[in-house]
Chains A and B, each alone.
Chain A
């Protein structure tokens, strides 16, 4: 059994007093009565109109009709109807007009339409009143029975998804529960992965302070990702200087872009695995090539691509990584996102144009110029990658090899 959830219990009688509900119901019923009377009247008019139409249609059949011509209310004269095709019609406001019988029939039909529309609207009004009255009546009876309204907060059982889910379900009742469940599942999964990452990242330890500063300078998390990428490179260069704080910052920067591509949580795993493995590879490369070119960044990607399968296997063994690995992970994350062709590709594209006009020159860092190029390469690589598939990654590999030789 779950712990008793917070909730409110309100007797219906307090919300709607029974007497008032009954009064309201009776008042509404009165209105209904009035409207019904009105409707009957209109219906009478309609019937009268129909009769008149029939009469006027038949009258022209004869030249004269023998009728009793009324003389006031109490007397009649025997007489004849003459000029049977001509009618004097009241248009309203004491205006009369002579019309033939056919025209009169048309006139009467138009009048009939007006009446029908009036009846229609009255009917709608009556229906509205009826629903109101029934609602009041049921409320009154419920209040009399002592019906009680109970509201409870919806508490999710799964602890990992509690925070997220409670926010979502706080206001809702039970509607859209299915959707919430799916969403909760995804969210809990992501949360688990995040936590794992954080744990592994913490085991790593040191980070370059510069990288952290970089991360802070830019507003978008995507930018910070690239920054962290550069920081990763720098970190590999000068590992000794890095402090733990920066690591944390970079960690956050990673996690944000990761979250940006929520919809495919599976991507993170390969990324993580890739990073672990490739970190070692990367560590070697930057040392050999101090100058950061576009090619270098591509070189990173090349070996990483090769080591993809290995990454999955070695994931379990790489529970404890050094900072280099972690930084590499960041780099690979950025690159692998490009490879995996997720939405992060898009942000990366955005990154690059932003990065270009802001070449940051820090005296403490060695690769400021190369950073810019790095972005450029990434942009081009991502562009090409989005368009075509496997052919592009091979390019950086070849270039790297060419450089090596």
Chain B
């Protein structure tokens, strides 16, 4: 009886483990996305600030046509810039507006980051708990059912 129960518990814990681990993977992936977004925003900001500082109006750059084939491109007027605001929309900003917008977006992404980190931490904690329970069961296989029940709270 005891062994059977222990086996059941073990199974349960294993299932939990799998589910928890999956969640952990998902959460980590979404957090990474946010990290990337943050990076992009910070790069853009830096560039815009540089442009502002040097009062650069025109710009020559290389455009990737696809498969790493580049062609020269010229930006005659850098005062207006189109920014991705999500859901496939691009809004035309002036340089200064763009900088403000970028700042706001960065804050938002920071918040998102914190949320995701919290979720991840929670999942990690649950996994740790399950591991501990399994360990207990394995270490003391001949314990009373009452004591094992106490542990599996």
Q: Which residues of A contact B (CB under 8 A)?
A: 45, 48-49, 51-52, 55-56, 59, 67-84, 86-90, 96, 104, 108, 111
How far apart are the CA atoms of A137 and B74 in the complex, in Å? 61
- Residues of chain B within 8 A of A70, CB atoms compared: 63
Contact A51 B66 (CB under 8 A): yes
**Which chain A residue shows the least CB distance to B70?**
A88
Contact of B67 among A49, A68, A74, A79 (CB under 8 A): A49
- Residues of chain A within 8 A of B67, CB atoms compared: 45, 48-49, 52, 108, 111
**Which chain A residue shows the least CB distance to B63?**
A69
Instruction: List 12 contacting pairs A-B, 8 Å CB cutoff, sorted by A.
Output: A52-B65, A55-B66, A69-B59, A72-B40, A75-B98, A80-B73, A82-B73, A82-B74, A83-B72, A86-B72, A87-B69, A88-B62
Contact of A79 among B74, B84, B98 (CB under 8 A): B74
B33 in the interface (beta carbon within 8 A): no
B117 in the interface (beta carbon within 8 A): no
Closest Cβ–Cβ distance, residue B32 to chain A (whole Å): 15
Contact A81 B68 (CB under 8 A): no
How far apart are the CA atoms of A184 and B119 in the complex, in Å? 86
For chain B, residues 49 to 105, give those with C-beta under 8 angstroms from any C-beta of chain A: 59, 61-63, 65-78, 80-84, 90, 98
Contact B75 A78 (CB under 8 A): yes
How far apart are the CA atoms of A111 and B66 in the complex, in Å? 13
How far apart are the CA atoms of A89 and B72 in the complex, in Å? 12
Contact A86 B71 (CB under 8 A): yes
How far apart are the CA atoms of A55 and B70 in the complex, in Å? 12
Contact B76 A80 (CB under 8 A): yes
How far apart are the CA atoms of A75 and B105 in the complex, in Å? 13
Task: Provide the B26-45 mask, 1 if CB < 8 A to any CB of A, else 0.
Answer: 00000000000000110110
How far apart are the CA atoms of A78 and B43 in the complex, in Å? 19
- Residues of chain A within 8 A of B73, CB atoms compared: 67, 69, 79-82
Contact of A75 among B62, B68, B81 (CB under 8 A): B81
- Residues of chain A within 8 A of B121, CB atoms compared: none
**Which chain B residue shows the least CB distance to A52?**
B66
Closest Cβ–Cβ distance, residue B61 to chain A (whole Å): 6
4 additional A-B pairs beyond A48-B66, A52-B69, A89-B70, beta carbons within 8 Å, are A68-B82, A72-B47, A79-B74, A87-B69
Contact of B41 among A51, A74, A81 (CB under 8 A): A74
Interface size class of B (residues with CB under 8 A): 20 to 34
Contact A87 B71 (CB under 8 A): yes
Q: Could you say which of A56, A71, A73, A87 has the most chain B C-beta atoms within 10 Å of its C-beta?
A: A71
Q: Could you say which of A51, A67, A78, A86 has the most chain B C-beta atoms within 10 Å of its C-beta?
A: A78
Contact of B83 among A75, A83, A96, A111 (CB under 8 A): A75
Closest Cβ–Cβ distance, residue B44 to chain A (whole Å): 5
How far apart are the CA atoms of A80 and B63 in the complex, in Å? 10
* A56-B65, A76-B82 given; A81·B44 CB < 8 A: no
- Residues of chain B within 8 A of A96, CB atoms compared: 70
- Residues of chain B within 8 A of A80, CB atoms compared: 73-76
- Residues of chain A within 8 A of B47, CB atoms compared: 71-72
How far apart are the CA atoms of A96 and B90 in the complex, in Å? 32
* A69-B73, A72-B44, A75-B98 given; A87·B83 CB < 8 A: no
Contact of A77 among B41, B62, B72, B78 (CB under 8 A): B78
* A48-B67, A49-B67, A67-B63 given; A75·B84 CB < 8 A: yes
* A71-B44, A80-B73, A81-B72 given; A87·B65 CB < 8 A: yes
Contact B43 A72 (CB under 8 A): yes
How far apart are the CA atoms of A49 and B65 in the complex, in Å? 11
Contact B69 A88 (CB under 8 A): yes
Contact A84 B76 (CB under 8 A): no
Closest Cβ–Cβ distance, residue B57 to chain A (whole Å): 11
- Residues of chain A within 8 A of B68, CB atoms compared: 89-90
How far apart are the CA atoms of A87 and B72 in the complex, in Å? 8
- Residues of chain A within 8 A of B59, CB atoms compared: 69, 77, 79
Contact A89 B69 (CB under 8 A): yes
How far apart are the CA atoms of A90 and B69 in the complex, in Å? 7
- Residues of chain A within 8 A of B62, CB atoms compared: 88
Closest Cβ–Cβ distance, residue B14 to chain A (whole Å): 24
- Residues of chain B within 8 A of A87, CB atoms compared: 65, 69-71
Q: Could you say which of B40, B71, B80 has the most chain A C-beta atoms within 10 Å of its C-beta?
A: B71
Closest Cβ–Cβ distance, residue B150 to chain A (whole Å): 43
Contact B74 A84 (CB under 8 A): no
Closest Cβ–Cβ distance, residue B43 to chain A (whole Å): 6
